[in-house]
Amino acid sequence: MTALEKITAPQSRVSGTALYDWDYLVQEDRAHRLIYTDPAIFEAEMTQVFGGTWTYLAHESEIPNENDFITRRLGLRPLIIVRDGEGTIRALYNRCTHRGTTLCRWDKGNTKSFQCPYHGWNFLNTGRLRGVPWPDGYAEDMRDPKYNLAQVPRVESYRGFLFGTLNMDAMPLKEHLGPIAPVIDEWLDRNPGGKVVVCEANRFRYKGNWKLAYDNSCDGYHVAYSHRSLLETENRFAGENAKGMAYYRKSPDTQPMYMRYTGHGNHFKDKRPNLEKRPGGLWALESAHPGMEHYEAAFLRRYGDRAFALLDLAGSEPVNINVFPNFSLLGNHIQVFEPVGVAETNAIWYGTMIVDDGSIPSDAVTDINALRMRTQEGFPNFGEVDDIANFEQIQHGLMAVEDEWVYMNRGFGIPGRVKTNDDGTITAPATDEAFMREHFKEWKRLMKGPQNLAITREP
């Protein structure tokens, strides 16, 4: 059994935010600029949101073997995500208990213990202090648990996606995901064995608040305008207006796609109804990448009738699945938002590969993964840059202090447009901002607190 330590620092009182009127700052159809610009609100979010709810940490495939580790963050807390010698996945605080320096400065590796670079304290990968140099210099028993590394008390996996929270009252992860779990299942189950393996990432950093990215994650209103050059590039040689996200060019609300809010800040935008339901339907939508024609010809030669179903495994799945506050699945990618400061955020796009489970030919697996890497060079390089430019320009615009509000009222107040379903989920046309109005209700709930937060240490 591990020992729980209740967190005693005041929570929603960080830097005086107890004085903030959250219901004033976020209203049904508009939000105050301060929530994107105020350092005290940002500091409170790093406990109330990144701590108070389930936050994506990493994927299990990044630490497949015993003693594998990667370094990540929960809000601003540096973490070491490790699979210890008994196979238990832990999220250790990457913070030496002696004087507080980060203990591990590598991105990833395999080790049974971590030695602090400062004075050499050595910790097992269970978090327990193993020894200190010249212990006879201490009067105290250094086996006191207070010297063991702090840990995130709750780490749970949903089919390989690892989430953590400090909130002892948070519902189990599966329940928290609720109606978005089957949508994640569909994203996974189209792959052999219902699995993906995470590979390397495209890493972006922008000068803007983290919420600007989450507010955009389900936004179907901006695509035809913000990504115009991408749509034109994708369709320049297409012969017809049929590649990439071209379905956004005509009136998007009359297309069969939609957005759905599933609770707890989570939502998805389903563009799959735009697809032709046939083998190769997804592949046909894929925009031009180097080598595509060569692979297509080789697949037809090698696999005959089966070629297009296999090529679909390389295609970018047209759905955006967003789990509040920092996780998106879109195309073949896992996107993670990492706050750095009130006006600085990392946006990281992890690529995914399919696995060889024997159900499709091994050489097809290799080629499909090569093609998936080409999709990794597509949207992140040609689309994400459009979005990031907007996020940075919003942060500039919000420096106009007297002009206080931003609006999220698209689709609000039009009878019959936004529908609440029997299971409590909410469906609206693809360009509506209903998802944003709803995830801000969750944000407010978390910011108001109080929350039952804790850390743990090995006994």
Q: List the one residue out of 150, 148, 144 whose CA is nearest residue 166.
A: 150
Angle made by CA atoms 384, 390, 394, in degrees to the nearest 5: 145
How far apart (Å, rounded) are the C-alpha atoms in residues 39 and 47? 13
Q: Measured from the CB of residue 150, what is the shortest distance to ligand FES in angstroms? A: 14
Q: Which residue has the tokens 């950093």?
A: 205
Q: Which is nearer to Fe ion, 387 or 442 (CB)?
A: 387
Give how far Cα 37 sits from Cα of 33, 43, 394, 407, Å: 6, 11, 11, 16
Residues 337 and 213 sit within 8 Å (Cβ to Cβ): yes
How far apart (Å, rounded) are the C-alpha atoms in residues 91 and 126? 10
Q: List the one residue out of 13, 21, 74 whose CA is nearest residue 40.
A: 13
Binding to ligand FES in span 62-101, by CB under 6 A: 96, 98-99, 101
Q: Which is nearer to ligand FES, 118 or 407 (CB)?
A: 118
106 binds, among ligand FES, Fe ion, none (CB under 5 to 8 A by kind): none
387 binds, among ligand FES, Fe ion, none (CB under 5 to 8 A by kind): Fe ion
Q: Is 11 exposed, middle or buried (0-12, 13-18, 19+ CB in 10 A)?
A: buried
Binding to ligand FES in span 192-221, by CB under 6 A: none
Q: Which residue has the tokens 């996606």?
A: 161
DSSP 156: E
Q: Which is nearer to ligand FES, 119 or 294 (CB)?
A: 119
225 binds, among ligand FES, Fe ion, none (CB under 5 to 8 A by kind): none
Helix axis angle for 434-448 and 39-48, nearest 10°, is: 80
Which residue(s) pair with 454 in the sheet?
6
Binding to ligand FES in span 100-129, by CB under 6 A: 101, 116, 118-121
Q: Measured from the CB of residue 217, what is the shortest distance to Fe ion in angstroms? A: 9
Q: Measured from the CB of residue 173, what is the shortest distance to ligand FES in angstroms? A: 32
Phi, psi of 373 (to 5 degrees): -65, -30
Binding to ligand FES in span 243-272, by CB under 6 A: none
Q: Measured from the CB of residue 383, what is the shortest distance to Fe ion in angstroms? A: 6
Which helix (DSSP H) or strand (DSSP E) does residue 261 occupy?
A: strand 258-263
Q: Which is nearer to ligand FES, 96 or 447 (CB)?
A: 96
Q: List the one residue out of 453, 457, 456 whose CA is nearest residue 167.
A: 453
Contact call for residue 312 and Fe ion (CB under 5 A): no
Binding to Fe ion in span 381-400, by CB under 5 A: 387
Contact call for residue 282 and ligand FES (CB under 6 A): no
CA 377 to chain CA mean position, Å:
19
Binding mask 312-331 for ligand FES (x = CB under 6 A): --------------------
Q: Which is nearer to ligand FES, 116 or 364 (CB)?
A: 116
Q: Measured from the CB of residue 97, what is the shortest distance to ligand FES in angstroms? A: 8
Q: Measured from the CB of residue 133, what is the shortest distance to ligand FES in angstroms? A: 8
Question: Candidates 90-98, 183-191, 380-388, 442-450 — which segment interacts with Fe ion by CB under 5 A?
Answer: 380-388
Phi, psi of 309 (to 5 degrees): -65, -40
Angle made by CA atoms 120, 142, 154, in degrees to the nearest 5: 85
How far apart (Å, rounded) are the C-alpha atoms in residues 198 and 168? 29
Q: Which is nearer to ligand FES, 120 or 182 (CB)?
A: 120
Q: Measured from the CB of residue 80, what is the shortest distance to ligand FES in angstroms? A: 14
Q: Measured from the CB of residue 116, what is the shortest distance to ligand FES in angstroms? A: 3
Q: Measured from the CB of residue 82, what is the shortest distance to ligand FES in angstroms? A: 18
Which residues of the shown chain bind Fe ion in the complex (CB under 5 A)? 387
Which residues of the shown chain bind ligand FES in the complex (CB under 6 A)? 96, 98-99, 101, 116, 118-121
